[in-house]
Structure 1
Amino acid sequence: MVIQVRGVVLPERVERTFAIDGDRLRADPVPGADLVVDGGWLLPGLVDAHTHPGTESTDQPFSDEMLRKHLLGHRDAGVLLVRTPGSAARIPDWVDAAEDLPRVRSAGRWLATPGRFFPGFGRDVSEADLVAAAVEEARASSGWCKVIGDWRPDEPAVPLELLTAVVAAVHADGGRVAVHCQTGDGCRNAVLAGADSLEHGMHLDPGLIDRMAAQGTAYVPTLSVFGAGADRRRAEEPSARRDWWLAGWDGMLPNVAAAHEAGVTLLAGTDSFPTGTVASEIGWLLKAGLPAEAALGAASWSARSWLGLPGLVDGGPADLVAYDSDPTLDPSVLSRPARIILRGRVVA
């Protein structure tokens, strides 16, 4: 059955009517088709570009049941595309075939060299084996791999030469590399190695931002997970670790603003639970000083384009969220979607 939607499409701000035939949008209206959205504002499905569905703690095994629960939580909040940059296990094939779940772009298992992650939570590899493992994980996933580029501030980051070799090998194989980094050296090495995305980026040297823009390294700051812990950290007894963390946090919002000004692709990612909270990350991007359309795009059309999917265009995927008012003027409406359509099916 063909259904139709009508509303003001963002970011173009033009009223359009789309027929939905199967899982595709069609620009030509179909007389007599059921109009399931009539008015309001239409967005390409929201995107969480950094989320880890399937487990909630380092002592909890990855499970299909938890994965499905988390993905449904995303979907019910209008998040219709997720990128999981690293997991405790590879995302199973059944997810791609599930019509009621968001589309997933995965990066296989976290790749952790000795001393740089929770032991056994990802894929523990030696530095000698890291390049081959990165290519293997990218091939086994959606073309991505995720390297834990650093860990604690008193431990060395993955060496620049090794990370450069990882990026070169994965790129030569047609894949892309995400790097977890939260120390100055880790951020520096990820940028200089040419990583495709910088995850977290705490202690990022602002002098590297122009290089990120020039080479196309995206920035996924996951501000909401850091912001949620800032007050607790400030209340702790002074220590070198506390002061290091707070210094990194204090630089994140200015760095995000500078990255936007420089033309770096900024993406919204939550890295936290419960799932379906990307609206909170949009709020933090607004606090950092991003214009409303840029902050929203980081969790919708810009993120979808970066991950290889078009927005609301003829022939594009029928993944959209409708709101009663303009979310760039009233971001609170993001928590109240009027209609959610995934793969051409009305799910809410």
Structure 2
Amino acid sequence: MVIRVRGWALPHGEHVDLYADGDRWTTDPVPGVAPVAEGWLVPGLVDAHTHPGAEAPGEALDDELLRAHLRQHVRAGVAVIRSPGLAGEPPPWFGTDPDVPRAWHAGPWLVQHGQFFDGWGRRVEHAELPAVAAAQAARTGWAKVVADWGVDDAPVPADVLTAVVEAVRAVGGRLAVHTQHAAGGAAAVVAGVDSVEHGMCLDPDLLHDMAARGTALTPTLSAITSTLATVVDKPEGPRKRWYVDGATAHAPLTAAAAEAGVLVLAGTDSAPHGRVADEVLALAAAGVHPHTALAAASWAARAYLGLPGLEPGAPADAAVYAEDPRTDLRALSHPEAVILRGRLVHRS
């Protein structure tokens, strides 16, 4: 079934008339096909850090819940997700069925012994980490290492992460690294990982190195800062001081990263799913330029994953809005229509 959309396509804002007969956009007109949606067209949104399929840390991956979470993403205009860590091996339909977003994933988190959530992740010795990460990346394109965890935990050393990066790149993959402490963040940047996830407590002096190396930052800003008010009321101690200091500095750090030329990606890392618009608003509130904040959840994130936007031959994804979201980012929360793989999958 041929569908048609027309309107002002972002990021350039030029008027376009697009058709899809299957999963590719074309400008070749098809007589007699009326538009299914008109307005401001945004390349299908991307949540670059989400862990669907489980309600709480440590729980097993639930296929029914996974599909429900993914549908929440779709209703929010999300056509693509990246899951840097899953509670289990996803089913074959993950990322491919017509009603769920395209998906990149890194399999289970790769973690040090004695760290991370019980029941989640794969505990790996340092000597084995490069080979294990490379095997995962060879299967799914990505691997994910948790470089640091508790306040008193030792991070993965920089030389180990460097060896992991080399092994993953040798099989054509990419490496995401969780870090929320200064030492782990420094090790990740020195190693030249592909993406730093969270990046709380990252030394701002490292941002220019990140930009030069092409290391992206997924700050999960809304998730981190929304927890701050709760943590402030907790008893004093090292863990509270670490979180309050890191979360308080995280918004300025994110804005400084964008200013330094680091590619910032929008990722929610939180439930309920389908909240990428909240992350875009948090980025803008932190001082990231609104155009850059929107790009972090759309065309820039898609390009990072190898997906073009609204152009002939590109995958047929789009979110359609009544108003220009560049003028008011709050419009992102209310898509008029969502196109996924050349199909109208949601209408307001």
Same fold (TM over 0.5): yes
CA contact (8 A) 1:19 1:28 kept: yes
Amino acid at match of 1:339: A
What is the match of residue 54 of structure 1? 53
Distance 1:339 1:155 in 2: 46
Deviation at 1:64, TM superposition (A): 1.1
Distance 2:177 2:238 in 1: 25
Matches within 5 A, 1:174-213: 174-213=172-211
TM-score (norm 1): 0.97
Distance 2:211 2:52 in 1: 29
Q: In the TM superposition, what whole-angstrom CA distance separates every residue of 1:116-168 from its partner, at most 9, and x where no partner exists?
A: 21233111222222111101111222x00000100012111001111110011
Distance 2:314 2:117 in 1: 40
What is the match of residue 280 of structure 1? 278
Deviation at 1:97, TM superposition (A): 3.2
Q: Which runs of 5+ in 1 are unaligned?
A: none
Amino acid at match of 2:42: L
Match of 1:313, SS state, is coil
**1:23 counterpart = 2:2:** no
What is the match of residue 94 of structure 2? 95
Moved more, 62-71 or 177-186: 62-71
Q: In the TM superposition, what whole-angstrom CA distance separates every residue of 1:273-300 from its partner, at most 9, and x where no partner exists?
A: 0100011100110011111111001000
Distance 1:296 1:105 in 2: 20
Amino acid at match of 2:221: L
**1:3 counterpart = 2:3:** yes
CA contact (8 A) 1:91 1:106 kept: no
CA contact (8 A) 2:82 2:103 kept: yes
Distance 2:20 2:105 in 1: 27
> Which consecutive aligned stretches of 4+ in structure 1 deviate over 3 angstroms post-superposition?
none
Match of 2:17, SS state, is strand
Distance 2:107 2:336 in 1: 34
Distance 1:234 1:113 in 2: 29
Matches within 5 A, 1:1-348: 1-38=1-38, 40-141=39-140, 143-348=141-346
Aligned length: 346
Q: CA-atom RMSD, angstroms?
A: 1.1
Q: In the TM superposition, what whole-angstrom CA distance separates every residue of 1:240-259 from its partner, at most 9, and x where no partner exists?
A: 21111111112211111111
Deviation at 1:23, TM superposition (A): 1.2
Deviation at 1:115, TM superposition (A): 2.0
Q: In the TM superposition, what whole-angstrom CA distance separates every residue of 1:6-25 from its partner, at most 9, and x where no partner exists?
A: 10001011011011111111
Distance 2:265 2:58 in 1: 29
CA contact (8 A) 1:116 1:152 kept: yes
Deviation at 1:336, TM superposition (A): 1.1
Match of 2:18, SS state, is strand
CA contact (8 A) 2:60 2:88 kept: no
Distance 1:244 1:117 in 2: 17
Distance 1:124 1:59 in 2: 14
TM-score (norm 2): 0.97
Query: Matched residues, percent identical?
Result: 50
